Amino acid sequence: GGTKNKSEKSMRRYCPKQKSYKTNSLLIYMNVKNLVLGIGIIIVFALVLWQGIEAFYPSPQWDGFCDESIEKPIPLDREQLTQTECEEQGGVWKNNYCDYYSECQREFDESKDKHTKIVFIVSIIVGIVVIILGYSILSLEPVGSALIASGIWAIFYGSAINWRNFSSVIRFALLLLALILLIWLAMRLNRTVKKIKKK
């Protein structure tokens, strides 16, 4: 009888440890799975955003503005080509050199700037919508957190694409706004996660 009681006590002693080990293993598995799925959602979202913009609003191509097959008269020596002759042939005289691509390059740069501004606006709108959507379904992990991260990425992508067109003041304002948004999101997320855990 004594041996049986001892074995029962030892089983009671080790069972909680085994349950705890299984619970911890399950939590680690779920966390790793959610992390991998979350990263996958962010990567695919970034590709969908980029390819979607390119599909419906393609980036301007240099070849569409400046044709490399333009025939340019090649002088026997530099002194044969004057500024007047260069300008008559549609070029721009720069540092004793005739730039035949100056005008088409200017048109290409203007078209590119216009394109990046549209990309910025689209990315900001998509980013805000996705962040709100992710926050509203935060309890569905890893979808909620991944969508919030995807929205932040969309805003970053649009800002980076159009960064050179911003003044220093606008750049500062964007960075400050991004910092405030991240801090606010972090605080709200922590509160929401605590509420979910309590339930």
SS (H, E, C) the chain: CHHHHHHHHHHHHHHHHHHHHHHHHHHHHHHHHHHHHHHHHHHHHHHHHHHHHHHHCCCCCHHHCCCCCCCCCCCCCHHHCCHHHHHHCCCEEECCEEECCHHHHHHHHHHHHHHHHHHHHHHHHHHHHHHHHHHHCCCCCCHHHHHHHHHHHHHHHHHHHCHHHCCHHHHHHHHHHHHHHHHHHHHHHHHHHHHHHHC
Based on the fold, state whether residues 56 and 37 are members of the same structural domain: yes
Q: What is the pLDDT of residue 124?
A: 92
In tens digits, the chain (199 residues) has pLDDT values of: 555 555 555 555 545 555 565 666 766 766 778 888 889 999 999 999 999 999 999 999 888 888 765 555 555 455 556 777 777 776 777 777 777 777 888 889 999 999 999 999 999 999 999 998 988 887 777 788 889 889 999 999 999 999 988 889 988 998 898 888 888 877 777 776 566 556 5
Domain that holds residue 166: 30-65+107-198
Based on the fold, state whether residues 46 and 95 are members of the same structural domain: no
Based on the fold, state whether residues 164 and 145 are members of the same structural domain: yes
Based on the fold, state whether residues 54 and 140 are members of the same structural domain: yes
Q: What is the pLDDT of residue 118?
A: 93
Based on the fold, state whether residues 135 and 184 are members of the same structural domain: yes
> Would residue 91 count as lying in a domain?
yes
Q: What is the pLDDT of residue 76?
A: 41
Based on the fold, state whether residues 58 and 148 are members of the same structural domain: yes
- Per the structure, the count of domains in the chain is 2
